[in-house]
Structure 1
Amino acid sequence: MSIWLALLVILLAFYVMTEIVDRHFIKSLDNIAEWMNLPPSVAGATLLALGTSAPEISTALFALFLEGASPATGVGTIVGSAIFQILVVIGFAAVVKTSYLNWRPVMRDSIFYAFSVGLLILFVADNKFTLIEGIAFVSSYFLYLFILYLWTKYVNEDAPRVSRSGFDLPNGSARIQFEGAQHQFDTPRPIEAIEKDMEGETARNPFKILQKSLGYPVEFLMNLIPDPEEKPKWTIPVFVLSLLVIAGASYFLVIAAESLATAVGIDKAIIALTILAGGSSIPEMISSAIVAKQGRGDMAIANAIGSNIFDILMSLGLPVLIYIIAKGEPLDGLGGANINSSIILLFTTLIVVVLLLFVQKFKASRPFGLFLIFLYIIYVIAAYMGWIDGGSTPATP
């Protein structure tokens, strides 16, 4: 597969996954959560988190089970996505509008996030995952859910508190709680929001040209699938079909990413840590920026940290656990120099973000956001130059 064809397939796969999750998968999960009568905090941290992280989970599964694929591709996508969310999603939200944060939920999620990254560092140190380690990852997420339950029940905060339902930002429905009462605000879907911001520039706008070339076939496919919001009886079939579409897009995404790495002559983990990770997180970045612009930066920043907890413990832990149970043996080749270094950097970026917020009295200002984005640019340059792993050969076309 040529470089340009691989890039086109990657772009199309991201577009398909964003649309199917945004328009159908999340809505079907919303209906299921309502049928199960789940509390908003539990629904947000489980079903809705599953919806927004479905592409990462599916990509990790194919990277583990697909013959010839590298496990590092799946791990790199999740680790790189976490770095992108901490630096770019939070940074972009702060650049859009300065926010004064409620420190309690930020610190709560940051502490458990640090615990999650610590587990990841510990478990990939020997370049493999065992059954016990896979169970520990998944169990830790249920511990997090239990902490959320206790927090919701016993902690009374004076300032607005972000509910876990904030996980569903990409589907255009952001939620926030004030003293235990849930209020829902409509936010534009990511692609619709971009279109609205670009009105009047259609003829010369590269996004519109790209959307016209790729969007019509995808739009045709999406229109064939019933909307579970309008036709609730189709919820389960749409849920299953959405999973199949996500799985198919993930399959081609992994194939294209591996081909791109081979064609460019670069470590597959680098492609996963940057292109795949950034692409899978763009919907969250756009939605968080929209929410921040509406004056709810508190929610946007807490969402970035909280969703990373799910990605590390479940988007990585669940595929690894499935692989170990299916194969009956530990998973080797999960780490590597680039992956291990990026995980350590992930922990470092969290410390930097929390310290900066603490120094600024939990004010997420525009200079703060620009600094975080600058750090991510440095990270990408370092990854492609081979500085992260201690001096590997840079990519050569």
Structure 2
Amino acid sequence: MPIVLYSLAMLLCFILLARIVDQFFVVSLDRISSDLKLSSDAAGATLMAVGSSAPELFVALFSVLKQGDHEAIGIGSIVGSALFNLLGIVGVVALVRKTVLTWQPVIRDILFYLIAVALLLWGIFDGSFSMWDAAAFLCVYVIYVVAVVRWRKIFPYKDMEFTPDEQPESGEEPAASNMVDKMLGFIFPKAEKYYLVFFVSIVLIAGLSWVLVESAIHFAYILDIPEAIIGLTVLAVGTSVPDLISSLIVAKQGRGDMAISNAIGSNIFDILVGLGLPFMIAMFIYGGTIEAGGQNLLESSFILFASVIAFALLLLIKRWKINWVTGVVLLGLYVFYLVREIVLL
């Protein structure tokens, strides 16, 4: 009976996170990015990535702050989410709409993504993260944000054009989604107060992420499964649903660059800030280092690094085009990864 309750709790959290991020958080960030006059790829790689990656950040934060060495859940959710974003989300986006990517921002994001994964591998291979490691993660992210803002001046390029009539007509929402949205409507302020909407979203995402961590720990304990596996699979996919939704929305609008920048930018944020910031906070509070061993995490991180290289080579071979072939290859790789993790349990 407890396993059913914990499963339902995680499912409910995933649903609420998806609706909060899709209907309120990303919308408020879109308005904020408009105030800041950010280009579409810059918005996708920074604010949109921050918004859709907030669940992973809070899951990692609560996992390292919780007493009892539960860091594997947070690190596993980040690594697994990165794999899902790169292989799963980009694969689905490629199936939805054929796109010719603008190579300048893609090269930028892949370059920083490789640096982020290399830093992650270094820490996991060493078995622990120090305060200097956490500081390096955050510094690299600051450099990345600066690069996003200035990249267009170094390598000039234009945003992909799209018009509102390219957006697909949305069908009726399922009854369950309407019910959830109506319930959330009583909690959130009006859309015009989008800075307040942003704050309320953060509070709710933090609360739901705490419930996720607690449920995942008990779930892993009851089934006698390593916490890292739960993080790499269940939590990784569940917390990445907002990334999938937001990327699909902009991809259907014809903004393929923004969808890819969001997926990769989310991964960069997940690793550099989603791990760097919680690690730094935890070490300020408890001192010492953050343990990050485990064969599952090491192997999955190597797979992630190889996936980034494979993705970059695939784009070069396809001359920066993504279509259904790209989608099938990427989704096939992700299914292979999931099957491998399940078989090795």
Structure 2 match to 1:298 = 257
Structure 2 match to 1:38 = 36
Change over 3 Å in CA distance of 1:328–1:188 after alignment to 2: farther
Matches within 5 A, 1:61-76: 61-68=61-68, 70-76=70-76
Gaps of 5+ in 2: none
Alignment equivalent of 1:336, drawn from 291, 294, 297: 294
**In structure 2, how many angstroms separate the alpha carbons of the residues matched to 1:46 and 1:20?**
19
Change over 3 Å in CA distance of 1:298–1:47 after alignment to 2: closer
The CA deviation at 1:29 is 4.6
Higher Cα Rg, which structure: 1
Matched, 1:230 2:192: yes
Change over 3 Å in CA distance of 1:185–1:136 after alignment to 2: farther
Matched, 1:254 2:213: yes
Matched, 1:353 2:311: yes
Q: Deviations over 1:24-76 (max 9, x none)?
A: 33455556667xx6341566554443222111111111111123461010011
Aligned AA (1:341):
E
Q: Deviations over 1:144-182 (max 9, x none)?
A: 11222321333212xx44xxxxxxxxxxxxxx6x6xxxx
Q: CA RMSD in A?
A: 2.7
Q: Deviations over 1:159-213 (max 9, x none)?
A: x44xxxxxxxxxxxxxx6x6xxxx8869989xx95xx2xx5xx9xxxxx4xx63x
Q: Deviations over 1:250-288 (max 9, x none)?
A: 111111112222222221111111111111112322332
**In structure 1, how many angstroms separate the alpha carbons of the residues matched to 2:97 and 2:29?**
31
More contact order relative to length (CA 8 Å, sep ≥ 6): 2
In structure 2, the residue corresponding to 1:40 is in which secondary structure?
Answer: coil
Alignment equivalent of 2:274, drawn from 299, 315, 337: 315
Matched residues, percent identical?
41
Q: Deviations over 1:211-254 (max 9, x none)?
A: 63x863x435412224352345xx34x44433322122111111
Gaps of 5+ in 1: 162-175, 203-207, 387-393
Change over 3 Å in CA distance of 1:11–1:284 after alignment to 2: same
**In structure 2, how many angstroms separate the alpha carbons of the residues matched to 1:55 and 1:106?**
24
Q: TM-score, normalised by structure 1?
A: 0.78
**In structure 2, how many angstroms separate the alpha carbons of the residues matched to 1:29 and 1:292?**
18
Q: Deviations over 1:275-323 (max 9, x none)?
A: 1111111232233234333433333223211221111111111111111
Matched, 1:25 2:12: no
Q: Is the 8 A contact 1:27 1:228 kept in 2?
A: no
**In structure 2, how many angstroms separate the alpha carbons of the residues matched to 1:32 and 1:86?**
26
Alignment equivalent of 1:242, drawn from 179, 192, 201: 201
**In structure 2, how many angstroms separate the alpha carbons of the residues matched to 1:357 and 1:260?**
39
In structure 2, the residue corresponding to 1:308 is in which secondary structure?
Answer: helix
Structure 1 match to 2:240 = 281
Q: Which has the higher helix share?
A: 2
Aligned AA (1:248):
G
**In structure 2, how many angstroms separate the alpha carbons of the residues matched to 1:241 and 1:101?**
35
Matched, 1:150 2:108: no
Aligned AA (1:102):
T
Change over 3 Å in CA distance of 1:151–1:32 after alignment to 2: closer
Structure 2 match to 1:375 = 333
In structure 1, the residue corresponding to 2:257 is in which secondary structure?
Answer: helix
Structure 2 match to 1:365 = 323
Structure 1 match to 2:112 = 112
Change over 3 Å in CA distance of 1:231–1:287 after alignment to 2: closer
